[in-house]
Structure 1
Amino acid sequence: MKKICYFLLLTIIATVFSCKKEDGVTTGIQPVNLAVNLTYALDSSEYTLPVKGVSVKLTNTATSSILSSTSNDSGIARFAGIPAGTYDVDATITISADNYYTITGTYVAEDVTFNASEKNRAIAVGNDVSIAMTLVAGSTGEWVIKQVYFAGSNRTDGALFRDQFFEVYNNSDQVLYADSLYIGQVFGRQSFTSSNYYTQTNGQMDWTQSLNMPTGIDANNDFVYTRTLLMIPGTGTTYPVQPGKSIVIAQTAMNHKVPWTGANGTTISVKNPDLTVDLSAANFETYYAGFLSTPLASDVDNVSVPNVEVIQYFGNDWIMDNNGRDGYVIFKVDSSQAVKNWPMYNFPSTSTPSSTATKYYQVPLKYVIDAVEIQPINAEDRIPKKFGAMYDAGFASVPKGAYSSQSVIRKTLKTINGRIVLKDTNNSTEDFDYFEVATPGGFK
């Protein structure tokens, strides 16, 4: 009997240890030593920029936990004993204007920020893993995209998508003119379910495969492609914007908190005014009715608010993707450019597109003043990035997603003599916060 009991005890112990060992295998949480190797994308070898002191942040896409490190003299940021998994990796360093001049001999008015980013990077089980990342400097402009209210408000108690708006800010210390400022809604892959187009290795559309796309250009990296293109009207000095002030472009410039009459004579109202916004004092609005045989009843022309010029439109009104899968650019061009005559291309379909298939303007990134990428908050819902690190190394999101009344809002960096300067490092993950309820003209 004792021998039998002893044998059973050994069997139980062996089973427990076997299960623990098996648990360790299936969870995949064995620690990983990660080294992030940082270099610069430089056109010149006449100088060396500092690789020490680069801030590197790892965000676990499953748990949202964040780990931080700083690079050493060799440009290596180390993370010891991290769990295997999928991470967003963001690296950034800001070099002061004076230090940048000392190093390069080039005068710049503002500090220069360099970014590198990899999203949804799988870090597998292993003793030592290394990632190479290249830091690039984004161009910062006097205009910045300040707020994007794409989510809309509650479907039944709010205004759905009718209250969406877009806000652009004068981040300089000079009067700027909004005349001929272009706003583009950038098109790209919206989901992983469709397989009827060519893709790049990063999963985004491969525009080099578009019908009649010329060779000899970098169609994927030097351009973006818009499905909506709007322009602020004016003669050049019609719409001055003071330093530290913004302009709001509304989908429909109405007070969405109170009932109003739609284009078909019906009353449009909301059950909970607190969920939506008053856009009756917007600076500009979009108006599509003139292009459509059956416009939306909510597309009302507020005659007291100027209309933007619609160069290109998609859908029945300027409806931004409520789920947050669009990118946005603002740009200006000189007199040598006729934007309306820029080439347009079909998306890179694996089959020959019809003669009536939608085409998208090809916008040269060299003219872009600011770019903001929007992504869903949940990692599993994200789509491949549309912008490289030079234009937006990260992305902005709202925590509650579609129809939440939330907007993304650029953070305040500092205040100079009462003028608010907004943060602009070309990394929307770092530059943007959110409003619980969108607030035209507000600050965070």
Structure 2
Amino acid sequence: MNKSIFRHKLYRNFAALAVFCIAVSSCNEYKEDGTETRTVSHRLSLNMPLNIKDATLTEGTAVLTNIRTREQYNIESFTPSDKGFIADISLPEGNYNIAVKGTISYQLNKQSIEAKVKANHENVAIGEVEQKTTTDIALNVYSAQEGFVISEIFFTGTTTPDGFMYTDDQYIKIGNNSDTTMYADGIAFIESFFTSDDKHDYQPNIMDEAMTIVAIYVVPGTGRDVPVQPGEELLIALTAIDHRPINPNSFDLSRADFEIYDKCSHPEGDQDNPKVPNLVNWYANFEGTFVMHTRGVKSYALARPMVDMKTYMTKFRYKFGYIFRQGDFVVPMDEREYFMPNSWIIDAVNLAVPTVHEWNLVSPTLDKGFTYCGHVDFDETRYNKSVIRKKEGRKWIDTNNSTEDFLPNAVPSCLRKP
């Protein structure tokens, strides 16, 4: 046979085979059994976070990624529903990973609150075989700094060689619990107004929506000025000095990352280390020096206010009342304090004395337990001790339950010998 004719026939055979393979492959894009992939209609139902009602959703997007093909299908328009928002989409049946993000706006104490929301669902089966045409997704609020946690609170203070209480060396540590560099700019450290040993039926009760606070100190910066590496911590000192010359039982805080400094009219005043940057006090008309309660009956939290300082000081204060009872002494109390929306809170820690604990001071969605130093009220053994968040491997444990997440009566990290 002529070689050129042979090559020509061989080429035609290979070409026909290639066309056949492409045809078979196109019919088998999703399924290995050769059946044709169907396009189905599916609905996403976005449910609002707990205790947030009548919210509006803006900038809402959902990305459905087909696990087998990696093809992505986007939803950028949602319609209000009884539970939240819904959207319908047509796409090939299969298993999908679903990622949702957006911004919600809602009313709290007559103020408009904005919060970021997100949710992720993995390996969701979408198709006619499953007889399921709707996927319900519960949205969660989040902050760009949600990887930060309170890793330690040293509130008891130390004791002097003569046995006197010394509280100037109190400190807080904030840890980056994520896998990436985080920026602490704009994070607020806040303290509760109420105490865990004295429960009140205050009205209006907004605990499910917000935390009533009596102190707020904010990390300065424009957005990327305070980087924190994964697993690293920021040390915030109440007084950033070397305390050992004053109290040999104390430690050196002169190299703290930040200091809580308050300008006040008190003759003794507050001590400022000019080499350590100060947190910004957002509490309007504050006259005093901040000290953490040494018995450990307050709650503390990290938050990311979504408004500027001026707006917060003027619009985020509210009036409430309660009945103060001390034996036969009963007095109606009227208060006006600041509140921090729960949707802005990144992490919260309840402190309490176990034998006199009456209530937790934040919503159980933020912290459903508490931690402590000492075991009884006014316990003299509580000094020189701290509460430290536990670790599992290189990560801090964070289950929103301080009873499980923290080591009580711990040796303060600043007292540990290298």
Three-state SS of the structure 1 residue aligned to 2:343 is helix
2-structure distance, mates of 1:441, 1:422: 20
1-structure distance, mates of 2:287, 2:371: 24
Three-state SS of the structure 2 residue aligned to 1:360 is strand
1-structure distance, mates of 2:176, 2:383: 28
1-structure distance, mates of 2:215, 2:267: 17
Q: 1:277 touches 1:438 (CA, 8 Å); kept in 2?
A: no
How many corresponding residue pairs? 276
1:7-406 equivalent positions in 2, closer than 5 A: 141-154=146-159, 156-157=162-163, 160-189=166-195, 191-192=197-198, 203-208=199-204, 219-258=206-245, 269-270=246-247, 273-274=248-249, 276-288=250-262, 290=263, 292-296=264-268, 299-312=270-283, 316-334=288-306, 338-350=311-323, 359-376=336-353, 378-379=354-355, 381-399=356-374, 401=379, 404-406=383-385
Q: 2:317 touches 2:338 (CA, 8 Å); kept in 1?
A: yes
Q: Which residue type is aligned with residue 406 of structure 1?
A: K
Residue 430 (structure 1) aligns with: 404
1-structure distance, mates of 2:296, 2:186: 26
Q: Which residue type is aligned with residue 429 of structure 1?
A: T
Residue 326 (structure 2) aligns with: none
Taking only the aligned residue pairs, the percentage that are identical comes to: 27
Show CA shifts across 1:369-403 (max 9, x none): 00000011x32x21311123211010011236565
Q: 2:373 touches 2:386 (CA, 8 Å); kept in 1?
A: yes
Q: 1:178 touches 1:232 (CA, 8 Å); kept in 2?
A: yes
Three-state SS of the structure 1 residue aligned to 2:265 is coil
Three-state SS of the structure 1 residue aligned to 2:153 is strand
Q: Evaluate the alpha carbon distance shift between residue 336 and residue 324 of structure 1 in structure 2; reply closer, same or farther with a 3 A threshold.
A: closer
- TM-aligned CA deviation for residue 437 of structure 1: 3.3
2-structure distance, mates of 1:442, 1:138: 37
Q: Evaluate the alpha carbon distance shift between residue 442 and residue 435 of structure 1 in structure 2; reply closer, same or farther with a 3 A threshold.
A: farther
Show CA shifts across 1:4-53 (max 9, x none): xxxxxxxxxxxxxxxxxxxxxxxxxxxxxxxxxxxxxxx97xxxxxxxxx
2-structure distance, mates of 1:436, 1:330: 21
Q: 2:98 touches 2:121 (CA, 8 Å); kept in 1?
A: no
2-structure distance, mates of 1:329, 1:433: 17
Three-state SS of the structure 1 residue aligned to 2:150 is strand
Q: Evaluate the alpha carbon distance shift between residue 185 and residue 405 of structure 1 in structure 2; reply closer, same or farther with a 3 A threshold.
A: same
Three-state SS of the structure 1 residue aligned to 2:366 is helix
Q: Evaluate the alpha carbon distance shift between residue 302 and residue 251 of structure 1 in structure 2; reply closer, same or farther with a 3 A threshold.
A: same
Three-state SS of the structure 2 residue aligned to 1:430 is helix
1-structure distance, mates of 2:339, 2:99: 32
When the two chains are superposed, the root-mean-square deviation of aligned CA atoms in Å is 3.5
Structure 1: any 5+ residue segments left out of the alignment? 1-42, 45-101, 112-136, 193-202, 209-217, 259-268, 415-419
Larger Rg: 2
- TM-aligned CA deviation for residue 138 of structure 1: 9.8
- TM-aligned CA deviation for residue 189 of structure 1: 4.0
2-structure distance, mates of 1:242, 1:251: 23
2-structure distance, mates of 1:320, 1:153: 13
Residue 114 (structure 1) aligns with: none
Residue 196 (structure 1) aligns with: none
Q: Which residue type is aligned with residue 413 of structure 1?
A: E
- TM-aligned CA deviation for residue 236 of structure 1: 1.4
Q: 1:375 touches 1:395 (CA, 8 Å); kept in 2?
A: yes
2-structure distance, mates of 1:390, 1:344: 22
